[in-house]
Amino acid sequence: MKFEGPLKEYIELTSDLNALKRKIIEQKGSYAFYLLWNKSEGGKIKVNNVPYNLKKDVIVAFTSFQEVDIEDLKDFEVLTYNKPFLCVVSEDSDVGCKGLLYFGSFDLPVIEMDDKLKVQINLEIDELKEEFKLSDKLQLESLRICLKRILIACTRKYKRQLNIHEVDRGKIDLVREFSYLVEMHFRQHHAVSDYANLMNKSPKTITNVFSKVARLSPLNYIQKRIMQEARFLLINSELEISQVGYKLGFNDVQSFSRFFKRHEQMSPSAFRNDLQLSA
């Protein structure tokens, strides 16, 4: 089921595996957003080359900017929508998922549904299905409202799951904004001070907030995201080592190699050779 508006804004609900795989390929890099509800045990996907075994009744959120490979899904429903339909960045004050469900975590957000959330999401999906059948002037906004309610419910549950619901909201918003900016700029900016300038905050303020509410320091967060991309490019591309380094913002191959070895305990070339030998 799909709605498409006059400005190419769209939202689509499907449970067809082949249709989902085609959508992921077709929408690559086009500001498409996904909410996937896995309804059976044993779902398997890869995101940025990291495998995930999905339990029954979990929701995962990802975007068309991530490398997603659906290996095995039996029973699922997925909502796909694009930026013109709902921009989670500009409308973050309404849904609060920027830097949490989307554009922020190098880990895949996996929302573990409880009975309350399951009932709520089922009701919203039923409402979406009814709205898909209509074609009046209120349809677009009504569909947006349904989607917003789903995003708000998922964001609240994920915050509780991460035990961050009792933390001062200002601190969480700072971490979310930092996470979003890292996702947008990690190829160019490698220092906490770079992001502090973008946020009009001091590096010390950001570091202090992270020490209270996050698992990693802000510098470790940046470096982990760079390393994730470096591994992905070394595994999945034919770029030279120097080209991978330049793509990630390093001025020369030596700097990139030192950075990579410090985090992986082997050089980029050794990492790639090990993969080729084990293939």
Render pLDDT for 195-218 as a digit per residue (tens, 0 to 9).
999 999 999 999 999 988 777 899
Q: What average pLDDT does the segment 16-39 reach?
A: 90
pLDDT at 162: 80
Q: Are residues 147 and 11 in the same domain?
A: yes
The tens digit of pLDDT for each residue in 226-278 reads 999 999 899 888 899 999 999 999 999 999 999 999 999 999 999 988 776 65
117: containing domain: 2-161
Q: Please report which confidence band the pLDDT of residue 37 belongs to, taking 50, 70 and 90 as the band edges.
A: very high
- 155 lies in the same domain as 178: no
Residue located via tokens 């398997």: 44
**CA gap 8, 5 in Å, rounded:** 5
Q: Which of 122, 144, 161 is the last residue of a domain?
A: 161
Specify the pLDDT at position 65: 87
The per-residue pLDDT for range 149-162, each reduced to its tens digit, is 999 999 999 988 88
For the chain, the residue count is 279
Q: Are residues 151 and 230 in the same domain?
A: no
Cα 273 from Cα 107, distance rounded (Å):
26
What pLDDT is attached to residue 200?
95
The span from the CA of 175 to the CA of 157, in Å, is: 18
Q: Please check whether residues 173 and 157 belong to one and the same domain.
A: no
Q: Are 133 and 14 contained in the same domain?
A: yes
Above 60 in pLDDT, residue 279?
no
Domain identity same for 175 and 113: no
**Mean pLDDT, rounded, of the chain:** 90
Handedness of CA 217, 219, 225, 227 (dihedral sign): negative
Q: List, in order, residues 6 or more apart from 252 with CB less than 8 Å away.
A: 242, 245
Helix axes 169-185, 192-199, angle to 10 degrees: 120
- pLDDT above 80: residue 224: yes
Digit-coded pLDDT (tens) for 179-199: 999 999 999 999 999 999 999
The pLDDT score that the predictor gives to residue 167 is 61
CATH number of the domain that 121 lies in? 2.60.120.280
User: What is the count of structural domains for the chain?
Assistant: 2
Judge contact between 225 and 106, C-beta under 8 A: yes
CATH number at residue 234: 1.10.10.60
Band (30; pLDDT cuts 50, 70, 90): confident
Give the tens place of pLDDT for each residue, 57-93: 999 999 998 888 898 899 999 999 999 999 988 888 8
Burial (0-12, 13-18, 19+ Cβ within 10 Å), 80: buried
Contact 158, 109 (CB under 8 A): yes
Residue 145 has a pLDDT of: 94
Whether the predicted pLDDT of 105 surpasses 70: no
- Pick the last residue of a domain from 161, 189, 220: 161
Query: Which one of 108, 128, 161 terminates a domain?
Result: 161
Q: What whole-number percentage of the chain has pLDDT above 90?
A: 62
Share of the chain above pLDDT 70, in %: 96
Contacts of 99 by beta carbon, 8 Å cutoff, 6+ apart: 105, 175, 176, 177, 178, 179, 180, 183
Fill in the amino acid letter for 162: L
Query: According to the model, what pLDDT value does residue 84 have?
Result: 94
